[in-house]
Amino acid sequence: MIQARIRKTFPPHDDSAGFSLDVDFRAGAGVTVLFGPSGAGKSMVLDSIAGFVRPDEGRILLDDVILFDGAARLHLSPQARNCGYVFQNYALFPHMTLRENLAFAAERRPRLERHRRVNEMLERFRLTETAGRRPHEVSGGQRQRCSIARALIGGPKLLLLDEPAQGLDAPLRVELYETLRQVRADFQTPVLLVTHDLDECFELGDEMLVLCAGRVVQSGAPPEILDRPATLEVARLLGAFNLIPAEIRTLDPGRNASRLKIGEFEIDGPYFPGRLKGDRVTVCVRPEQLTALPRNGRPGPNQIPAALERAVEKPTHVHLQFAGGIAVDLPRAAFEPQREIREWVIQFPAALLRAL
C-alpha cells in the first residue's frame, strides 16, 4: 500500500509558466492507473515516489516505511526505497546480456538465492532462450519482458511503470497487457502505472486516478469514472463524451424527471439533484449511448433532428459526426443499409443523461 501526499511548486520562469503539483492519494493491491494529459504531473508523481524528485512538502509512505517526510526532512535515496521502476525506453544495460541484467538486479538478494532466482525469472518471462544475448540483439517484446522481470527480481514493494505502451505497435501492446496481467496474478506487488491512454486504463486498471494540472480531479474504478465523470473537466479529459450545452426548463423530483432545452428542441431527462430551473448545464452522454435513425417526418419524443456530416469507420462500429457537434456510435450492421442518408434524428435515452 502506498500513501502519498506530494506538493511541489516550480515558480514561473522566463520561458515557462510555472507548475504546481499537489496530490494526495493511496493505492493498494492491484493496478492503479495515473491518467492525465501530458503536463499533468503524472511522471513527477512517479519520480517523487521513486526518489528522483524531492517534493517541497508532504509525506510518502510505502507499507510501513516512510520514503519521504517534508516536515522531518526525510528523503530516502532511490536505492533505499525498494520500488521497481520500468522506464519508457526499458533502460536495460546495453553492455550486459539479459541474464546479466537480471543478475545485476538480483544482487540485493542473498547470495545463495540469486542464481535460482534469475533462472526462475528468465523462465517465467520466457527469456531462457535469449538469456545470453544483449538487449539490442533481442526483440522489442523480449526487451519489454526483461525490463519488467528486472524490476521485479529484487522483490520490490511497489512497481512503477512510466507510459509503458507509449510508441508500441498493436501486437507489442497486446503482449505488454498480457505480461502485466500475468504480473498482477503472480506477484502481490501493487502496480502504479502512468498513461494518457483511456483504453489502457480499462485494459489494466483496477483503480484510476485522473490527474489534471497537478491535481487529482477524480478517482475510482475505470468503468465507474466513465459512467459518472465528476466534473466537466474530467469528461473533457476522458474525451469519450458528447458535451452538449442545455438549459433546464422543468424539474420534477417526484417523477424523477426533467425537461431540457437543447438548441430549439426540448427532450426529457432525469431529475438533477442540486440544480435549479433555468440553470445552464452541459449534458454529458457517450456516443454509444445515443441512437440515430433516418429522419421520417416529424421527430418523435426525445428525438432531435440533425444532418450527418461525416461517418468514420472504426473496427467495431461506425462513428457518426452530426452538425451541431453531436457524435453517435452505431453498429456497422445498423449503419450499412443507410449510408447514403443525410437527414437523421438522434434519440436521447432520458435516464442516461448527466448534467455537469
Partner 1 sequence: MAIDWFPLWLSLRVAVISTVIALAAGLWVAYILANREFRGKAVVDAAVTLPLVLPPTVLGYYLLVLLGRASPLGKIWEKFFGSPLVFTWKAAVVAALFHSVPLLVKSSRAALESIDRSCERAARTLGASEWKLFWRVTLPLAQRSILAAAALAFARSLGEFGATLMIAGNIPGSTQTMAVAIYDALESGHSMLALLLVLVISAIALAILSFTTRLESH
Residues engaged in binding partner 1 (CB under 8 A): 50-52, 77-79, 81-85, 87-89, 91-95, 104-105, 107-108, 150-151, 154
CA–CA distances in Å: residue 234 to residues 4, 126, 160, 163, 226: 22, 39, 24, 20, 9
- Least Å from the CB of residue 159 to partner 1: 10
The answer for residues whose C-beta is within 8 angstroms of residue 340's C-beta and 6 or more apart is none
- Least Å from the CB of residue 289 to partner 1: 42
Which three cell numbers, joined as nine digits, stand for 38? 501530458
Closer to partner 1 by Cβ: residue 168 or 311? 168
The answer for residues whose C-beta is within 8 angstroms of residue 336's C-beta and 6 or more apart is none
CA–CA separation, 19 and 46 (whole Å) = 16
Which three cell numbers, joined as nine digits, stand for 39? 503536463
Q: Which helix (H) or strand (E) holds 327?
A: strand 327-330
Length of the chain measured in residues: 356
Closer to partner 1 by Cβ: residue 93 or 187? 93
- Least Å from the CB of residue 102 to partner 1: 10
Closer to partner 1 by Cβ: residue 88 or 119? 88
- Least Å from the CB of residue 149 to partner 1: 12
The answer for residues whose C-beta is within 8 angstroms of residue 51's C-beta and 6 or more apart is 67, 68, 75, 76, 77, 78, 80, 81, 83
- Number of Cβ within a 10 Å radius of residue 224: 13
- Least Å from the CB of residue 166 to partner 1: 13
- Least Å from the CB of residue 79 to partner 1: 5
The answer for residues whose C-beta is within 8 angstroms of residue 93's C-beta and 6 or more apart is 100, 101, 104, 135
Closer to partner 1 by Cβ: residue 147 or 302? 147
Closer to partner 1 by Cβ: residue 80 or 334? 80
- Least Å from the CB of residue 157 to partner 1: 12
Amino acid occupying residue 23: V
Closer to partner 1 by Cβ: residue 45 or 330? 45
Closer to partner 1 by Cβ: residue 47 or 233? 47
- 31-35 β-sheet, strand order: 83-86, 158-162, 191-195, 31-35, 207-212, 215-220
